[in-house]
Structure 1
Amino acid sequence: MTTSRSRSRRVRTAVAAATAGLAASALVPVPGAAGAASTLGAAAARSGRYVGAADGGDRR
């Protein structure tokens, strides 16, 4: 049978480990949108087309 003190320590350790894992994963760069945007822009420039975001003027 575990005491509440040892259970509390295990819970705190688990929370600290999970927090550290999330913080470490947030520091890893994800090469996604930035690379895709530059690739799409280059392809559009070669073909003479414009790639951008649509802006609804009435929704500002």
Structure 2
Amino acid sequence: MDARSSQQLQLIEEQDSYIQSRADTMQNIESTIVELGSIFQQLAHMVKEQEETIQR
């Protein structure tokens, strides 16, 4: 393998690593947003329960 082919292969590997890192980060962000949505749903449920208790 000549030096140019080796450099191209290294560049491709670096790009693959970068793309995989971005994909992992996006997946982490997505799961965090889903978790945050769940927390807000729980909070809304608790507020509704308190509202019903106060009205009694």
Q: TM-score surpassing 0.5?
A: yes
Percent same amino acid among aligned pairs? 6
Q: How far is 1:32 from its partner?
A: 2.1
Give matches, 1:12-31, under 5 Å.
Answer: 12-23=12-23, 25=24, 26-27=26-27, 29-30=30-31, 31=34
Unaligned runs of 5+ in 2: none
Unaligned runs of 5+ in 1: 50-60
CA RMSD of aligned residues (A): 2.6
Please report the TM-score for the alignment, with normalisation by the length of structure 2. Answer: 0.57
Moved over 6 A (4+): none
Could you list the per-position Cα deviations for residues 11-58 of structure 1 after superposition, in whole angstroms to 9, with x for gaps in the alignment?
Answer: 1112113213432x2346514211111111011001118xxxxxxxxx
Of structures 1 and 2, the one with the larger relative CO (CA 8 A, separation 6+) is 1
Q: Which amino acid aligns with 1:35?
A: S
Whose helix fraction is larger, Structure 1's or Structure 2's? 2
